[in-house]
């Protein structure tokens, strides 16, 4: 049954176009679809792919209950991405406006990882092999 199910998280952000550029630059995400703009001029959804995974971006619309981390006072979800070089990804994110929550370091559980808050308020665990 599970093989028939698709799963794609949708990140709610104030500016999906800016967020899309950020994720393409720092994660190498490929934009695979952009829905037409809504009444406010923002695309209602931008679909991305990274490897075999996908995620979507949509604008915050309070009338629909679509709230960004800034609207909520923080992110309720941790997004985890495993990469070849967590330090390089972390540095790219920081150079483009993200902030360190937990430094990327070798951890006692056998991974090199840390936590970054992106400029849109979403929390990312960046993880990879020990160095």
pLDDT tens digit sequence for 54-76:
999 999 999 999 999 999 999 99
Backbone φ/ψ region at 78: left (φ over 0), alpha (ψ -120 to 50), beta: beta
Whether the model pTM is above 0.75 = yes
pLDDT band at 2 (very low <50, low <70, confident <90, very high): low
Say which residues have a Cβ less than 8 Å from residue 38's Cβ, sequence separation at least 6: 44, 59, 61
Task: Provide the residue ranges of all domains of the chain, joining segments of one domain with +.
Answer: 2-128
Is the Cβ–Cβ distance between 31 and 45 less than 8 Å?
no
Under 8 Å between Cβ of 113 and 129 = no
What pLDDT shows up at residue 4?
A: 77
Least confident of 3-12, 15-24, 74-83, 106-115: 3-12
Over residues 74-116, the pLDDT tens digits come to: 999 999 999 999 999 999 999 999 999 999 999 999 999 999 9
CATH number of 2-128: 3.10.180.10
pLDDT for position 5: 85
């Amino acid at each position: 049954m599970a093989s028939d199910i698709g799963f794609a998280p949708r990140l709610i952000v104030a500016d999906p176009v800016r967020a899309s550029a950020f994720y393409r630059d720092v994660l190498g995400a490929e934009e695979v679809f952009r829905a037409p703009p809504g009444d406010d001029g923002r695309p209602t959804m931008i679909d991305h792919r990274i490897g075999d995974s996908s995620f979507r971006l949509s604008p915050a619309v309070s009338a629909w209950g679509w709230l960004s981390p800034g609207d909520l006072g923080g992110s309720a979800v941790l997004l985890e991405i495993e990469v070849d070089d967590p330090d390089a990804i972390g540095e790219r994110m920081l150079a483009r406006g993200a902030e360190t929550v937990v430094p990327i370091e070798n951890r006692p559980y056998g991974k090199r990882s840390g936590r970054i808050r992106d400029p849109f308020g979403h929390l990312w665990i960046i993880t990879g092999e020990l160095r």
